[in-house]
Amino acid sequence: MFKIFRKLIFLILLILVCYKFIQVHHDVKQVMNYRSLVREVLDEQDTVANEELVLAMIYTETKGKVSDVMQSSESATGQKNSILDNKESIRQGVQTLSTNLNVAQEKKVDVWTAVQAYNFGRAYIDYIAKHGGENTLDLAKNIPKILLHQV
């Protein structure tokens, strides 16, 4: 009886792993549909951002499943989902990311701080600069508490 139960659990886990693999593969294919648009926007702008980083951010933000593929509306208008055009979303996202990368370089913090600042805001770069210059999970977890105390 125990062997059957163990085989059943193994089979269920195998099915779940296969399902997740297929799901991730589908999401990556969806994001890769934006590759030429990302290249076009990067060619338009003088930026330190690169194609792989922008595509990774699209994957992280939306998996390419909504119009505002980089969730960049808030940095442009202060409102969520106000950008309804993929190219405009990528253009605004690249501009924000590029600015963050430049500020991070000036403040001598790591690249991942600039990436995290895409969601936390540019003040996160200053915060990391004052706390060792390298983005860590502990620092990222503490930032919401620190921001609440500043309000």
Q: What is the pLDDT of residues 22-38, one digit of tens each?
A: 999 999 999 999 999 99
pLDDT band, very low/low/confident/very high, at 151 (cuts 50, 70, 90): very low
Amino acid present at 80:
K
Q: What is the pLDDT of residues 41-56, one digit of tens each?
A: 999 988 888 999 999 9
Rounded to whole angstroms, the Cα distance separating 41 from 85 reads 13
H/E stretch holding 114 reads helix 111-120
pTM: 0.84
Asked if 92 contacts 45 with a C-beta cutoff of 8 angstroms, the reply is no
Candidates 29, 116, 44; CA nearest to 87 is 44
pLDDT at 96 over 90: yes
